Structures are given as structure tokens and as C-alpha cells.
Structure 1
């Protein structure tokens, strides 16, 4: 009886092994989504948390700090407010302007245009720091004071393009160019409208904290073909190329129903059709 039980156990173990052997580890890992705070179910082109870096595209690594999702873009950290996979857009805000207009490091927002671009609902607010005091009495612009690195400085902000003001307000343009620094912070055009009627620091911070929208472009057509074939999109950091993770093994473009990988010409013709 014991021999029969032993043989039955061996048969069950051996019989179940191929089920797990056929599942590629990278495919299984890329099934995980990024979840942090109110951001749930985020997949390609993003990596982070339970998603290894090969599950996302370079430059789209996400972090989670105290249930606050964040993303680093060109070495600057942004709060991640929302992701729309269907429209391939994300909403982010400058982390250094969450509480006030006086960050320790004054830097403009910069993007890699090959990966990210602003949507049509885009506007910019320009902050000027270290401006001469007192300002000319004729200037009616919004003023604020900062203490940055133990240096107290006067600042101003405008929601219009400075070059457009040169014709209508030359004295304002001339004065602002004498300030030590200027920083452009993106915002939604719709969020800027209330500032035109009430140009206060509180209104400006509220607009900045609503974030701004970016649209991404990361092998989108290849990813669509990969997912249509039952695969999961990823990126090979060694070959620096798009990879389609399939249940059995990674492929260049899309998964195949047969054990053999499809030829490159076959996959590419399928992608182009």
C-alpha cells in the first residue's frame, strides 16, 4: 500500500511540473502591475514596485513614497497624479512646488521630446527670483518673498509669455530681465484661468498642484501587436530594444502559437500590415 502511495505521489509531482516550466519568469513578473496610493493597475511602459525594469521603458520608472506615487523625469521628481493607458497620457506636478514657491534648487521643467510631450491643455507660469527692490511703482504684478539658502529675495510671477509683454508693457519686461533667476513651471491652461481674476500665491499653488498632462511615445505600435498576440510588452536593457514577453520565452515582436519562435521577417510583416 505504501509503494502504491509513493508511486501515485511521484506521478502527481512529475505530471504537474511542465505547467510551471512553460511559464517564463519574465512573462510572469510583467503580469504584475504598479500599485501605489490611488494609482492602480499600471503596466507598460512603466516599471517599479513589483514590476522589474525590463517590464518598462527607460525613463518610465515609478516610485512609491508613503503611498505617494512619483516619477523622475530628466533628474527631477514629479508627483504622479494620474495615468491613462488608453490615451497614453499622464498627469504630473512639480514636487518642489507643492507647498510654496521657494524650492531650494531653481530649475526649469525639461522633457525628452522623443518620449514625452505636452498635451494641448498646456500653459506655463514664470516665476522670477532675486528681483531688485523696490520695483517700479507702475508695475502691477503678483509679488512674493522667498528665503532660499538663508537668502531673502523678492519674486514675481506672470502667466503670460514675457516676449509677448514687451510690446504692451516694456517697463515690466525691462524690470523682470534684471531679476537673478527665472523658472518656468507647466500647468493646465484650464487651471490658469482663475489666476487671471485672482493672481494670488494661493491660487497659483492650487493651479500648480493640479499638475499638467504629458503624452508618451514608446514603441506603441510594437506593443499593440505584442499584446494582441497574447504577450506582454517590455524592454531588453542589454540589446536596448523592445521585447515581447511571451508565456514560453521572449520574442522580438509578438508571440507565436507554435513552440518555435517566428522569423524576424514574418514578425515584421505582421507588424507592418
Structure 2
């Protein structure tokens, strides 16, 4: 072999070996992801929040796409299935939230009537929850009001868009059969289920409209489920759970980069020496 060609190949192999050994195992941007996600989220009185939550100083890549917290108010806000909720309590140990609908905050006469819906792939009700059913735009009652009280149905006053309507409410714990309520008060144009906590529901009948509003403002409990097996693997490997904002897929942020699941181990000193020795031997054999 021509000596100049031999020298060129040897030099090239040595450069590759040195590059593999000394080059960082991830891009600087990936390392910054780990640093960014190491900082907890402090949001409207709640401190030290981590995955799955994100907002303020924690970018979307540090949390689950559905767990953004709006920290611009007196209490955090979270959007679940296109309904905004006020976060009243966060229990990281049991992974529960106590939330209340913002459109029903301090009122039971919102301008838009929307039934409560949650994403059951991420959240579930707890055993302490029950539904308070609110009936809107109902006809004149077909039975005396005393009869309505005996069936756990009470009237409340409400004016929506400058129009007065007869409205009623009933905790489902007392009247699970909606057809019996409809037979008592007639066909209403709208009915909305608003979850409340069960101990509060037990004290609702009979009561006042103010007490019903206070019960809704007390919120209800949700259990969240965002720590999938990939997240457990990531944490076990020393990483931080997060996501890829471009795909909404799970991402594991590690000190040496971002990966699909666990963290890739950096090369040990012995492995580096073995690689270097291999390239040196190859260079002599060329």
C-alpha cells in the first residue's frame, strides 16, 4: 500500500476514535431539557409541582400535554375536555386534584349551559363524588312545590340572557331516577350534571340556593393517571418524565440526552479504551 494512503487512513481512524471518546453523547439542547425539567413548578400558591404538570418556568416538554396549568389567577386553572376548572387542591402522593368549574364559580346561572365531561383515559372520579343535577328552562311545575321537596327536587331562581326561567336541582344520590323527576316538573330544555363531594350532597336537601352554589364551589375530586410504564422506567433510570411537543409522545429527559423510555448509559472509561485500542489495531492492519 502506498505510504501516503496508509498514513491518511490511519489519521482518519484516529480522529474518529478520539471524536467518539470525547464528543458529548447528546446535543446541548437535549441537556438543557433535563436542566429545565429539574426545576419545579410554583403556581398560584402551589409549590414543588413536577410531572405531569407544566406551565410558567416549566415548558410543555417537561409535562404531559393535557396537564398545563394557567398560573395567572389566584388559583391554578386546568382545561379538561374543553372545560376550565379551578384547581383547589393537589395531592401528589395520591395523585388527586380537587377542582371546581370556573363557569359555575359563585353562580348556578352560567351564560352557556355545558354538561361536565372529563377525559377518562387520564382522570377518574373518586368514591367521594356525586352529581348535582341542575334543570334549566323548565315549564311551570305540574305538582305543588311541597311535593317537589318530598322528591328531593327544589326550585332555584335564574335569569339567563335577560330571560327568567323555572329551574330546579336535585342531588342524584337522592333521586337517581331522572324520569321520576321529569314527571314531577315536566320536560326541561336543559339539564347539567355538576359533580360535588358526597359529604356536601348529604346536607343539600332541603337548603338554599346559596348553599347549592357553595357546594359547587367546594369542588370535587379527580384521580389522575399520567405515569405510564415508560415514565416508571425513566424515573428508575434517573431520568425525568416529559413529552415531545411536536408529537405529544412520551419522552424521557436524562442528563445525557432525551430518549423514548429509559436513559442510555454513557460509555465507561474501559469501553472508551477498548474502542481506541480497536481503532489502533485496525490502523496497523490496513
Q: TM-score range by the shorter chain?
A: 0.7 to 0.9
Query: Aligned ranges for residues 1-273 of structure 1 at < 5 Å?
Result: 24-137=31-144, 138-140=147-149, 141-160=153-172, 163-164=176-177, 166=179, 170=180, 172-196=181-205, 198-259=206-267
Conserved 8 A contact 1:36-1:67 = no
* Mapped partners of 2:83, 2:217: distance in 1: 16
Deviations 1:201-236 (A, max 9, x none): 222222211211111222433222212222110011
TM-score calculated relative to the size of structure 1:
0.79
Give 1:23 shift. 7.7
Give 1:175 shift. 3.6
* Mapped partners of 1:176, 1:71: distance in 2: 35
* Mapped partners of 2:185, 2:39: distance in 1: 50
Question: SS at 1:143's partner residue?
Answer: strand
Deviations 1:32-84 (A, max 9, x none): 22222221111111111111111111211110133321101111110011122
Conserved 8 A contact 2:256-2:266 = no
The alignment's C-alpha RMSD in Å is: 2.3
Unpaired segments of 5 or more residues in structure 2?
1-23, 269-286
* Mapped partners of 2:198, 2:177: distance in 1: 17
* Mapped partners of 1:56, 1:190: distance in 2: 33
Give 1:134 shift. 4.7
TM-score calculated relative to the size of structure 2:
0.76
* Mapped partners of 1:46, 1:233: distance in 2: 10
* Mapped partners of 1:113, 1:176: distance in 2: 32
Conserved 8 A contact 1:22-1:247 = no
Conserved 8 A contact 2:106-2:214 = no
Higher relative contact order (CA 8 A, sep 6+): 2
Distance 1:49 1:176, change over 3 A: farther
* Mapped partners of 1:202, 1:24: distance in 2: 53
Runs of 4+ in 1 over 3 A off after TM superposition: none
Larger Rg: 2
